[in-house]
Amino acid sequence: MAAVGRRCLLDGAGPGQTFRAITLPLQRPTLLVGLVTGVISTFQTFDAVYALTPEGGPAGVTDVVAGRIYHEAFPNRAGGQAAVMAVVLFVLLVAVTLVQQRWFARRTTYDLST
């Protein structure tokens, strides 16, 4: 590996190729965990929105999925509908997580025993 100025050449590969072929595959596990937890926490956002706009804001512009489930269950007393919404949310999150895991399933190993 030779360094020429600010550019690192690895067998003729430029910075973009080095990032795509070496750096990105090594970051796959970290990206998977960050992406899965980020998607799940996005769908679970409730407390900050409810604290700022308990009624969903003007014309329901701050309505989120978890808030809609809460409003169906407690103020509207429609526990069955809220349970169905929660199960649908769960199935959706499981499906998204499985897609993400399949997308990041390819593992890159480097055999250094020569």
Q: Write the pLDDT tens digit of every residue in 4-39.
A: 555 555 677 888 888 988 888 889 889 999 999 999
Q: Indicate the pLDDT class of residue 89, thresholds 50, 70 and 90.
A: very high
| For range 86-106, the mean pLDDT | 92
Q: Indicate the pLDDT class of residue 60, thresholds 50, 70 and 90.
A: confident
Q: What is the pTM of this model?
A: 0.72
Distance CA 15, CA 47 (A): 43
Q: Which long-range contacts (CB under 8 A, 24 or more apart) does 33-40 make?
A: 35/100, 35/104, 36/97, 36/100, 36/101, 39/93, 39/96, 39/97, 39/100, 40/93, 40/97
| For range 60-70, the mean pLDDT | 90
Enumerate residues 6+ apart whose C-beta is below 8 A from 10. 1, 18, 22
**Model pLDDT, residue 73:** 95
State yes or no: pLDDT of 56 exceeds 70. yes
State yes or no: pLDDT of 80 exceeds 70. yes
Q: Is the distance from CB of 31 to CB of 108 less than 8 angstroms?
A: no
